[in-house]
Structure formats: C-alpha cells, structure tokens
Structure 1
Amino acid sequence: MTSQPYRPADIVSPYLLFLGDIEDSVSAKMARAVVIWRPEKAVGQLRMTEQTASVGIEDLSIEEAVARGARTLVIGVANSGGKLPAHWRDVICQAIEHGMDVASGMHQRLDAIEGVAQLAREHGVTLHDIRHSHPPLEVGTGEPRSGKRILTIGTDCSLGKMFSSLALQRGLENAGLKARFRATGQCGVLVAGEGVAIDAVIADFISGAVEWLSPAGDNAQWDIIEGQGSLFHPAYAGVSLGLLHGAQPDYIVMCHELGRPHMRHLPNRPMPDMAECIDANLSAARVTNRDVKLAGFSVNTSQVDEETARRELSSLSQQFGVPATDPIRFGIEPLVAAFTTGAV
C-alpha cells in the first residue's frame, strides 16, 4: 500500500482540553496524554463542573482560552462506547462559534451531531475525527517481515499500554538505539502525530492495518507498537487478538495495574491470572512469530505504597525471569536494559 499514516499535523495547537463532566479520571486519558507527552500544546482545560476530573492544568473558559491563542478544542475523554454525551453539544458549538477547530477521538463522528457540521461550515473551522482518519487498508498476510518489534499487551484495558510504549521508545532512544512509536489508539495518534486508531478498523483489516503501520524495516530499529484492550476483556479482546497477529512481535511487554479489583466496567469479572494471561498472549502471537518472547512487565503501582510496589515487582520478576518496573515511579530503565544488554 502506498498511503501514508494519518498525520494530524493539521490539528492546530494550542489546544483547550475539554473534559466535559466526567468524574472518572481514567476516562480523561486523551487529555492526560497531551499533558504528559505534549504539554507545550495545551493552554488549559475546560471542565463543566467542579467535580469533573482534572488533568492538573489551569481551568479556562472558551473565551479565556481563545484570548490565549487556543486554536482547537480537543475532546479529552475516551469513554466506553465512544459516544459524545448530548449535553456536551452546546460547548462544542460555542467553541466553533469562537472560531475554534474541534478534534475528537470518539467513535461517534462530530458531523453526526445535529447542527455541528453546518455550524463548522458557517464559521470556516475544521472538525477532526481522529478515530476515523485512516487510509484504505488490506487484510493481513502474516508473511515474515524484517525489523524488530515490541508490542505492549495488558491484563486489562486502560492501564498504561500507551504510556509504557512511549516511555520505552524514549528510553531506547536515550540509550542510543533507533526506536519508533507506532500508535494504534486515538490518544497515541494525537501524541505521535501519526498512526491508526485500530478499534475503528473493520475487523477483517485489523491485522493488515498493523502490518502496514509497522512494515518491513531496518533490523537496527525497534518498532514499539502500542497495544489495545486485553485478550481477557470480553468487550475488546477481538482488537487485542488482531494486534497480536498483525504486529508479529519479537517481544511482548505485559502491562498491569496492582490492586485493580476487577476488569474495567465489569465488576463481576475478576482480573485474569498472570501466568494464564501471558501464556494466552504468547500462544496468539506465535501465529505470526514462532519466536516471540516475554520481555518484561510495566506495572502501574500507584494504588499501593512503595514497599508493597517493590515487593510485588520483585515477585513478578523472580516468577517469570524478566524485569518488572513501574515506569512512572521507578523509571523505564530496567526494561530498556533488557534490550540494550541482550538479556532478553
């Protein structure tokens, strides 16, 4: 295929990050991704209530943000189902009326909201639907291809696969290796400036989309492919499986959150057994790469104290014979060292 990855370079910054009235901080991951990885692009956040989750930057109204040069209202939320709440429409329209573009990573298209497309035309602004901006794709082939690939996987969804991928890419580059982050989610695409939101791709083309996103390449370069969902989450396992096949990973990095009581949005479904989860992912990945290996663990330990975190990470490392770290709390270096020293 000759098409290029979707590049949201025309999503003009600075951004005003719109958080609606969500109170679940995990759902604010679109805004948080910008604040962590592209902080220079955000002038502030817009929250509808004081109880709304915050990403820790200044609260601004649309008028205040425009006065500071904001060019695009970014919907900073990723919710289950990807539908924009109807009562957010007025804020979106107000931004358009003030001359702002609007960017969304939701499944629901902005132009599907009553009156929004017409209003955008009247004010000469652009609507960006990041999840729906990918080129024509083909089915996967599973043919072996050159290059080195690492895929982040997870015991559940929304527990740090994008963060881990970006941290690993940065860590490898800092260690003098060539590394490229391959975004497969709307947050990653916005941060990286290119990629494919894989959960908006027709199922037949998921593996092909990942083959296209991470094509045959230089054996001296590492492609860090952002994982999605979990093989053990009944809502999102189909996407996870297609990614495993299309990525043709040489290594997988397991992402996990200590203390998570159950699968996200499924209070009656416990978290999977770690050994079973690793075995299932390795088995699925062997469909396209018989030599795939577990490289290590990237674990969110924010819900436990430091002593508990270190003990649990050490236990994982001893049980599976690979490094385990919390990239925020303790740094990504143990995982980077596994690749730079040839330990994996």
Structure 2
Amino acid sequence: MATTAPGSAALSARGEQVDALPSPYLLFLGDAVEAGYAKTAFGLRDWAPERCIGELALPGARVTTGLPPLQPREAYQRGARALLIGVATRGGQVPELWLPTLSESLRAGLDIVSGMHDRLGDIAELAAEARQLGRRLVDVRVPPDGIPIASGRKRSGRRLLTVGTDCALGKKYTALAIARGLAARGLDVDFRATGQTGIMIAGAGIPIDAVVSDFLAGAAELLSPDAAPGHLDVIEGQGSLFHPSYAAVTLGLLHGSQPDVFVVCHDPLRSHILGLPDFPVPSIEDVIAQTVAAGRLTNPAIRCCGVSLNTVAMDDQAAAEVIAATARRLGLPVADPVRGVGLEALLDACAAA
C-alpha cells in the first residue's frame, strides 16, 4: 500500500519530510481527561507501535495508551528520540501548563513533534531553548505552498471518503483498515492522509484543517490526483457536516475529494457532539442524506457503500447486536474494522465502488 501522492508530501515548518521525523516516540498525553482528545496517541500506538516507547501524562490526566509511563530522561535512555504531542486541544493551542514538561523533554535530549495549530517555533521560550540545546521543534500541521483553487474537474481513478457523525470516532482507523484490507486483496489502493495523525502514520499528506478556506477543495484535489481507472484512493475524512465548529473543513474536503463512494463512521454510544453537549449526534441516515446532497456538486454519482461503527466500549455480544441491527435498518454492509466484525463484507462493497 503506497502512501505518497504527487505534490502531497507533508513538510514541517523547517521543510523536513514527515517520513524523516525523529523517532522512536515518547507519547505526550498532557492533561487529557477524554480519550477522544488523545486520538493522535492512540493512532500511533495502534498503527505504528514499533515507533512508540512509552507515554508521559501530567497530573490529573485520565487517559492512557497502556504503554509504559516514562519520564523524558528515562524514555531517552530507552531509545526515544522525540516527545510526540499525542493529544489535541480545542483550537489546537499549546497550553502554558505543558511548557515545563516540553522544556524538560528538550533538556533530556528529545526533539518535539507536534500536530497542533500553535506552532512550536512560535513559542519564544521554547524556541530559544531548542536552539540553545540543538534540538528540533517539528510542526506537522503545516500545509505545502502553492495549493491551487479547486477546479471541480472530474479526475480519473476512483475515490472513497470516510465521513462521520462527529469528530474523533474512527474515520482515520476506518480509512486505514479499508486501504490495508484492499491492498491485501491485491487491489491498487492508496491511503491519503488529511490530518496530523494520519500524516505521522503514513509519512505524507496534507493537514486539511490548516489550509486557508478558499483552498480547501483545491488541497483535496491535489491530495488525490488523476490515477489509473482501477486505482482507488481511500481518503481520510475530517470533522462532520453536522459539527458546528468543523463542518466547513468537512465540506471542502468532500467537494475536492469528489468521492465515488463514502463510508459513514459512527459511535453508537455517543449522544452529543464531542465537547458540545447542546448539539446531539445526528443519525447515520441524516449524514448519508446530507453527504449525498452536498457531494453531488462535484460528483453527481456519489453514494454510500457502507457504515463503520466504533464499538470499542461495548462487549462482544452488544457490538455484534448493534452491527447486525444497523445493517438490517440501513440495508448496507456494517462493520467494526477494529474488531474485524463485518469487515470482509464492507471491503467487498468498497472494492466494487
């Protein structure tokens, strides 16, 4: 499974290729209390475990990856070469509370890798300390220069986009699992990363939510260029069309991706948009209808080919029941790619896109 698209190699603020990031990593969990905000750490643990040495959390954190808890100097002694910020904050800001630990990591010999909107190099005290110690501050969430305005031109090849009822519920995992599963079947398929975690895993991509709004759809076109008729790009989705904060990113990615098919990702236990209790999670049916209506602008033939459920908080019986019930209700293949339940049927539908 290839991971690099022409023109889509992500660069740090200093121009370094993401696939040359300093590693192995000590995963920094900050003071996170909800697992949904630590999706970067979990993504690296699950999809690049060979690059993860341990985790570091601040007092009060209630999230763990299950990796050994290590302090920066101990992690360095065990082979870690970078502290990777594995959590997100609303707005992508680096809290002042984190700065002493980030400084300690630099002094312990670790570079720092970040996918936050706040750029490490713009934090004066941190940048000065890194320069003095000869350490690197690597910002992954930096889009490439020269992104064009979208043309809307129909491109050759096939495209699949993962979409969601909310943020942080499995769009990246689903896209990775589909791409890996189809590649194992011998199909010509690429995973296209659109967020910082996907880029850290794949080594290339474009951080869509860091692109100026006028160029969002153009970035999505750049990420998934013309391809052979049998080729399939599996594009990592972002946000949700029903998210009051991030729907604009989702819409730009949808228009520029021009997906032939999409897979809806959903957490059956989530009642409200993450962090926004006044906004209920929409139904899968509403997401399908809205995605088709908006997606027809650039691909009139767009359709839903399946559903991915995040059942990690359920036992095996409950998960099997909700997967089967959802499939009966919608008349579509439904799977939990992490459990593997229903995955082959979902892959069949994706392959036929």
Q: TM-score, normalised by structure 2?
A: 0.93
How far does residue 339 in structure 1 lie from its aligned partner after superposition? 3.3
RMSD: 1.6
Name the structure 2 match of 1:334: 345
The percentage of counterpart residues that share the same residue type is 42
State the distance in 2 between where 1:249 and 1:81 align: 28
Counterpart mapping for 1:207-222 below 5 A: 207-222=217-232
Describe the SS at the equivalent of 1:269. strand
Instruction: Summarize deviations over 1:289-343 as a string: whole Å, max 9, x none.
Output: 1111111000012333433333332232233322001112234222112234x3x
Instruction: Summarize deviations over 1:184-238 as a string: whole Å, max 9, x none.
Output: 0111111110001100100000000010000001122210000000001110100
Between 154-163 and 268-277, report the one with greater CA deviation. Answer: 268-277
The answer to whether structure 1 residue 90 and structure 2 residue 100 are counterparts is yes
1:134 pairs, out of 126, 141, 144, with: 144
Name the structure 1 match of 2:155: 145
How far does residue 178 in structure 1 lie from its aligned partner after superposition? 1.5
Describe the SS at the equivalent of 2:251. helix
State the distance in 1 between where 2:59 and 2:136 align: 27
The answer to whether structure 1 residue 284 and structure 2 residue 288 are counterparts is no
State the distance in 2 between where 1:255 and 1:4 align: 25
Counterpart mapping for 1:43-122 below 5 A: 43-49=53-59, 51-122=61-132
1:317 pairs, out of 311, 327, 331, with: 327
State the distance in 1 between where 2:291 and 2:277 align: 23
Between 197-206 and 49-58, report the one with greater CA deviation. Answer: 49-58
Structure 2 residues without counterparts, runs of 5 or longer? 11-16
Instruction: Name the amino acid aligned to 1:191.
Output: I
State the distance in 1 between where 2:257 and 2:324 align: 29
How far does residue 51 in structure 1 lie from its aligned partner after superposition? 4.2
Instruction: Name the amino acid aligned to 2:169.
Output: L
Name the structure 1 match of 2:134: 124
Instruction: Name the amino acid aligned to 2:89.
Output: N
Q: Size of the alignment, in residue pairs?
A: 342
Instruction: Name the amino acid aligned to 2:187.
Output: L
State the distance in 1 between where 2:143 and 2:350 align: 33
How far does residue 272 in structure 1 lie from its aligned partner after superposition? 1.2
Between 323-332 and 67-76, report the one with greater CA deviation. Answer: 323-332
State the distance in 2 between where 1:304 and 1:292 align: 32
How far does residue 35 in structure 1 lie from its aligned partner after superposition? 0.5
Q: Is the Cα–Cα contact under 8 Å of residues 19 and 52 in structure 1 kept in the other structure?
A: no
Instruction: Summarize deviations over 1:75-127 as a string: whole Å, max 9, x none.
Output: 01022211111011011111112232111111111122231111111111211
Structure 1 residues without counterparts, runs of 5 or longer? none
Describe the SS at the equivalent of 1:136. coil
How far does residue 133 in structure 1 lie from its aligned partner after superposition? 4.3
Tell which has more relative contact order, 1 or 2 (C-alpha 8 A, sep 6+): 2
